[in-house]
Structure 1
Amino acid sequence: MQERHYSLRTAAYVLCAAGSLAAGAALFCVRSAHADDTSAAEPAPSVAVQVVPVMRKPVSQLVVAYGVVGTAATNSVTVSLPYVARVTKVLVQPGETVARGAPLFVVQADPGAVIAFTQAQSAATLARGELARTEALFRDGLATQSQLATAQKALDDAQQALAAQKVSGIAAGEKTVASPTAGVVSQLSAAPGDQAQAGTALVQLLGTNTAGARAANVSLGVESADAATIHAGDRVVLHSLSAAQQSVQAQGHIAMVGGAVDAQSQLVNVGANVPLAGAAFLPGTRVRAEIDTQTGTWWAVPRAAVLHDASGQYVYQVMPGNKAHRVHVTVKVEYGATYGVEGALDATRGLIVSGNYELGDGMAVRIAQGGTQ
């Protein structure tokens, strides 16, 4: 009886174990099926990116240069007198802006110069009368052809001498000397009472250019490598180096590019024509100039969009199905944070500017919040 009791109890244990195993197997199958369903429902991995539109437009290579306003020799005008004179009044002062025709100073010609002018007038009058008398004698047969020719030559010589005196502007008494151009008085060498010799510089002016002027009024220095890319007519924008005038700027064009390196500065001299009427750039002001060179129509892309590896430079665009497409590009010019590039870009597809470092060609992407397609 005891043996039979043990047999029944053992059988009960076996049945319980079998039931537990069956239940565990069923539970494992259910969990496995659920795991498979979850795996199948998960989306393919993608990279979050931000995109911007891409288009072709003019982009330039930016060259930065430094220089000084109003120091180019081509824009400097020196005022002097072609005769000896005494300065009686000075009507301007250094730094003063003057208009064309404005009085600069008053002079009185040296008595010797006035006498020379008077003598030239008298000689011309005498030669004119002598020619008239010789012509009358010639008509009466009392003068020869040679005498008539001599009288004519004497009058021509006297008239030329008088014309030279008149060009010099000599006149008896005081004379006001006017400014030959609009500009700024950069140097004043005359003082009341000075005896100025012929040809002596009395005033130096720095001309203020108008929009149509061609002379340079800003002198810049650039590296020789940059100078090779700059040409007359390139756009230039001046900026003040003063912290208080950061917003002040003036726009003009390159007028001249030097053909040699300056021995002192080791830079190439470049002259710019920038209309400065009404601007806060006084002669002698040091400035920073931004010169637009090699202007062309390129694909304008942000610097962040362009990547580089052993195969060269490239960008990514978003193609149908939200796939990244690698496009080979060549950077032509650089303007601040913008590149001008050439390549087989598609203007209808967004250009990836953020997240592109994680991409490979054909990878799935998703537009991050704040990005634009």
Structure 2
Amino acid sequence: MSNRNFPLRTAAYALCAVGALAAGGAFLAVGTAHADAPASGANADAAPSVAVQTAKAMRESVSQQIVAYGVVATAGANAATVSLPYVARVTRVLVQPGQRVARGAALFIVQADPAAVVALTQAQSSATLARGELARTQALYRDNLATQSQLAAAQKALDDANQAIAAQSASGIAAGAKTVTAPAAGVVAQVSAAPGDQVQAGSALAQLVGANAGDAKTPNVSLGVEAADAALIHPGERVVLHALAASQQSMQAPGQIAMVGASVDAQSQLVDVGASVPLAGTAFLPGTRVRAEIDAQPGTWWSVPRSAVLQDAHGSYVYQVVPGNKAHRVAVTVKVEHGDVYGVDGALDAARPLVVSGNYELEEGMAVRLNNPGGAQ
């Protein structure tokens, strides 16, 4: 009998096992669902954020930096030409190019042309003769032996002779050797005459350039700038000279703009700009080629790193971090550019950090993580 019921008992045991497994599976599924529920809720609450670096926004003086190139002591206002107002022969040359000379230093020994000396002698003789003739005419006039017109003519003859002597004397004509001196302190840039040369009146004997005192109204550095840049430069603005030679890279000298040209040079296609820079005692000798940094259009703006300024179809803008560590877009207008710094105008807040790195990933209101310990917070 027990053998006959064995299949029934086996079937009953199998049904119980299946029911137990089904119940256990349902319990595990419910347990797993409850275990995953908190994690899913946390992911739903987490918002994307961007790691950024910030700096402090400050208002300070920023200028438009313009770079120009030129030469020391070639500005026309700083050069002087040494010449004679009469024909003369050069007997000695006492200086050479590149030599520094003081005011009144001897440059040449010359002798006036004999014809010029004769003209001076004739003027002196004419004056002596006219003086005597006037005295005789005055005596005759007192005796009623000469007319008023004769007396006036004698007086005019003497006046003309005296004027001729004055003209000859003003030109510096003198018999014998004459020393030609430097009209001002400076450096001999060029010597145009040699011993034995016969020079005409007004011909250049030498050219001097100023001693680089850097007078505010007298340029001693000639620069060339693009026409668009020249429109931004004004007299009085700061300029700093730098040497081009590799061995003198650290050498610099500050000064100011003295003159801005009003036309474009036909050869260089640049506008001439004259700078006044005190160079006495420096290694910036006449003829030195230099690079100049001009601070044009100085003004007080928001000073921000170049990397902080972005641009799109709506214009230039920056991001600042507002309370709650959110990104806030601020529209700006770039006014000047000075190296790696922009001077901008806009509704910036000095109390809010300015994003300088990571800003390309930001959008308005996006969460940020400050990633520069010790920087602006």
| Common fold by TM > 0.5 | yes
Matched, 1:13 2:13: no
Q: Percent identity?
A: 68
The Cα shift of 1:129 comes to 4.4
CA distance in 2, matches of 1:98, 1:299: 50
CA contact (8 A) 1:84 1:110 kept: yes
* Residue of structure 2 equivalent to 1:303: 306
Indicate the SS of the match to 1:299. strand
* Residue of structure 2 equivalent to 1:243: 246
CA contact (8 A) 1:209 1:215 kept: no
Amino acid at match of 2:233: I
The Cα shift of 1:21 comes to 4.2
Aligned length: 372
Amino acid at match of 1:364: A
Indicate the SS of the match to 2:123. helix
The Cα shift of 1:209 comes to 4.0
Cα offsets for 1:254-301 (capped at 9, x unmatched): 333334333333333333333332232333332222223333332221
Indicate the SS of the match to 1:67. strand
Q: How does 1:1-373 map to 2 (within 5 A)?
A: 1=2, 2-3=5-6, 6=10, 9-10=13-14, 13=17, 16-17=20-21, 20-21=24-25, 24=28, 27-28=31-32, 31-32=35-36, 34-35=38-39, 39=43, 44-139=47-142, 141-370=144-373, 371-373=375-377
Indicate the SS of the match to 1:252. strand
- More deviation, 50-59/300-309: 50-59
Amino acid at match of 1:61: Q
* Aligned CA distance change for structure 1 residues 140 and 318 (closer, same or farther; 3 Å): farther
Amino acid at match of 1:13: A
CA distance in 2, matches of 1:349, 1:279: 46
The Cα shift of 1:94 comes to 0.8
* Aligned CA distance change for structure 1 residues 358 and 311 (closer, same or farther; 3 Å): same
CA distance in 2, matches of 1:193, 1:227: 47
Cα offsets for 1:78-128 (capped at 9, x unmatched): 111122323232211011122222211122333433333233334334434
- More deviation, 295-304/132-141: 132-141
Cα offsets for 1:289-327 (capped at 9, x unmatched): 222333333222111001111221110111122211100
Amino acid at match of 1:84: V
The Cα shift of 1:253 comes to 3.2
* Aligned CA distance change for structure 1 residues 350 and 129 (closer, same or farther; 3 Å): farther
- More deviation, 161-170/223-232: 223-232
Indicate the SS of the match to 1:317. strand
Amino acid at match of 1:240: A
Amino acid at match of 2:110: V
- More deviation, 316-325/269-278: 269-278
Cα offsets for 1:1-58 (capped at 9, x unmatched): 4458547745763675366347525642552355367558x76442221111222233
TM-score by length of 1: 0.87
The Cα shift of 1:349 comes to 1.7
Indicate the SS of the match to 2:257. strand
CA contact (8 A) 2:130 2:158 kept: yes
The Cα shift of 1:157 comes to 1.2
CA distance in 2, matches of 1:117, 1:352: 83
CA contact (8 A) 2:214 2:279 kept: no
CA distance in 1, matches of 2:67, 2:316: 25
Amino acid at match of 2:294: I
Cα offsets for 1:324-369 (capped at 9, x unmatched): 1100111122221111211111122221101111111111222213
Unaligned runs of 5+ in 1: none
CA distance in 1, matches of 2:71, 2:376: 45
CA distance in 2, matches of 1:152, 1:247: 71
Amino acid at match of 2:71: V
Indicate the SS of the match to 2:28. helix
CA distance in 2, matches of 1:31, 1:103: 106
- More deviation, 204-213/23-32: 23-32
CA distance in 2, matches of 1:21, 1:311: 60
The Cα shift of 1:139 comes to 4.4
* Aligned CA distance change for structure 1 residues 213 and 83 (closer, same or farther; 3 Å): farther
CA distance in 2, matches of 1:242, 1:203: 28
CA distance in 1, matches of 2:141, 2:10: 178
- More deviation, 335-344/54-63: 54-63
Indicate the SS of the match to 1:92. coil
CA distance in 2, matches of 1:263, 1:24: 92
RMSD (CA atoms): 2.8
* Aligned CA distance change for structure 1 residues 43 and 34 (closer, same or farther; 3 Å): closer
CA contact (8 A) 2:304 2:343 kept: yes
CA contact (8 A) 1:208 1:275 kept: no
CA distance in 1, matches of 2:46, 2:132: 116
